[in-house]
Amino acid sequence: MPEKPIFTSILQVAVVVKDCDASVRKYTDEYGIGPWSIYEFNPDTVDNMILRGKPQGYAMRLALAEIGGVQFELIEPKDDKSIYAEFLKQHGEGLHHVAFGVENYNKAMEFFGGKGHGILQGGTWHGFTYTYLTTQQDLGLIAEIYDPPPDFQWPEPDAVYPKKS
């Protein structure tokens, strides 16, 4: 057993959806969740894309909102390559992954590597590295961890909902 827990917090809960814009409207208009910052992730906006441990581009549109100090994410796959597209095809819309805080990204990667877990998918967006781990068998879910630069600032979103007046 590790000296202390590998995960230090829950940072994000993510749901894969068929239509990001329609889902954002539903969450906001029917449930009061928002506002949403919407971004496009693809090989033009994300460096070092990786899928199942190998370099591979993929694309998605995602929306982020905060609920009680936890980021909530909606992800629409924009191609058939990503783990989101696989999930949508196999399960339909639904809960996809949980992002956890770790004290040290590199030590966490060593820990998970020692348990036989590899990188399911990942990339680096504006210097912010995100990594999905192959934890489904052990944990019953896909765990994501981050390695943001110390000075990370969220870029302006491609869109917001509801629109600021």
- Domain total in the chain: 1
Confidence band of 33 (pLDDT split at 50, 70, 90): very high
Q: Is residue 23 part of a domain?
A: yes
Q: Is residue 156 part of a domain?
A: no
Confidence band of 131 (pLDDT split at 50, 70, 90): very high
CB atoms within 10 A of CB 31: 8
Q: Is residue 138 part of a domain?
A: yes
54: its two tokens? 């190998």
Maximum pairwise Cα distance, the chain: 52
What is the span of the domain harbouring residue 85?
Answer: 9-150
Q: Is residue 164 part of a domain?
A: no
Q: Is residue 157 part of a domain?
A: no
Q: 40: domain CATH number?
A: 3.10.180.10
Q: Is residue 70 part of a domain?
A: yes
23: its two tokens? 């889902």
Strand 94-101 versus strand 9-16 pairing type: antiparallel
Q: Residue 133: which region, alpha, beta or left (left: phi > 0; alpha: psi -120 to 50)?
A: beta
What's this model's pTM, rounded to 2 decimal places? 0.95
CB 37 within 8 A of CB 96: no
Q: Is residue 155 part of a domain?
A: no
Q: Is residue 72 part of a domain?
A: yes
Confidence band of 163 (pLDDT split at 50, 70, 90): confident
Strand partners, 77: 60
